[in-house]
Amino acid sequence: MPATRPDDKQVMQALAAARGAVRRITDFALPPRCPGCGAITGEVQSFCLSCWRELRFLGEPCCSRCGLPFEYDSGEGVECGGWLSNPPAYDRLRAAVAYGEIARSVALKLKYSGRPGVAETLAHFMQRHLADEDAGAILAPVPLHRWRIWKRGYNQSALIATALARRTGLSARLDLLTRIRATPPLKGLGRRERALAVRGAFRVAERAKPALKGRNVILVDDVYTSGATANACAKALKRGGAARVDIICWARVVGGSD
């Protein structure tokens, strides 16, 4: 008879670790596939031609703060009207692609398969959007509520943050922020309702505060829609001592609220 019985948490963690190991093995053994549609590409971290054409990669010219694409180059450091009228708690936002059908399907693939290979692909396209100010910053994923991590076995944003850390040499702190309460789905809610739904939902772990003081943080997310979650996270990070918070995500909604 075993001396001690593992508690639920230990069992869940062991299961999650086993699932992760299986995913890593299958990632290694299978031919590289397009993360958009699943077609065999023969090349790692690349999309098939048809998905590539569908994806809208973001870049200059854009708002110097939130990265919203501009039709014309208006010069360095220009901010969009949305930022000027309602500046969020974070300092800068960048996304690799505009949210659309393929971008969404890639995000869902990572969310429900947890394949590190997909996270690597996203990190590959996100990495180029890091700013000069991000040198020496701490990478931190948008946290999931612990019940959701136990259910799924991983946090998709943490997989991306880990891949980004490996590529950039920056350090990732997966435990920096915690989600202290589960939040309802934000889809369909208005701007104020979203902000209310996530208010006070995030907190910097007490033990992480000394390491955070005066540091720059890059918050890593898969999809940015209304910004309510990212904003609540940035507020918590700044309250916890961060000097600057930049957001980097795979896809962001461009135009419209959702």
Residues that bind Zn ion (CB under 5 A): 34, 36-37, 39, 48, 51, 63, 65-66, 68, 80, 83
What is the rounded CA–CA span in Å between residue 35 and residue 38? 6
Least Å distance, CB 127 to Zn ion, is: 21
Q: Which is nearer to Zn ion, 7 or 71 (CB)?
A: 71
Q: Which is nearer to Zn ion, 27 or 175 (CB)?
A: 27
Least Å distance, CB 68 to Zn ion, is: 4
Least Å distance, CB 144 to Zn ion, is: 27
What beta strand segments (E) does 82-195 contain?
Answer: 92-98, 138-141, 171-172, 177-179
Q: Which is nearer to Zn ion, 63 or 201 (CB)?
A: 63
Least Å distance, CB 223 to Zn ion, is: 18
Q: How far is CA 190 from CA 177, 198, 247, in A?
A: 25, 13, 22
Cα pseudo-dihedral 225, 229, 231, 233, rounded to 10: -140
Indicate the length of the chain as a whole number: 258
Q: Which is nearer to Zn ion, 36 or 116 (CB)?
A: 36
Least Å distance, CB 123 to Zn ion, is: 18
| 55-109-166 Cα angle (round to 5) | 85
Quick one: 234 exposed, middle or buried, by C-beta within 10 A (0-12, 13-18, 19+)? Answer: buried
Q: Which is nearer to Zn ion, 74 or 183 (CB)?
A: 74
Cβ atoms of 76 and 89 closer than 8 Å: no
Residue nearest to Zn ion as judged by C-beta position: 63
Least Å distance, CB 84 to Zn ion, is: 8
| 73-245-173 Cα angle (round to 5) | 130
Q: Which is nearer to Zn ion, 51 or 251 (CB)?
A: 51
Q: Give start and end residues of each alpha helix (H) in 153-217.
A: 156-168, 191-198, 209-212
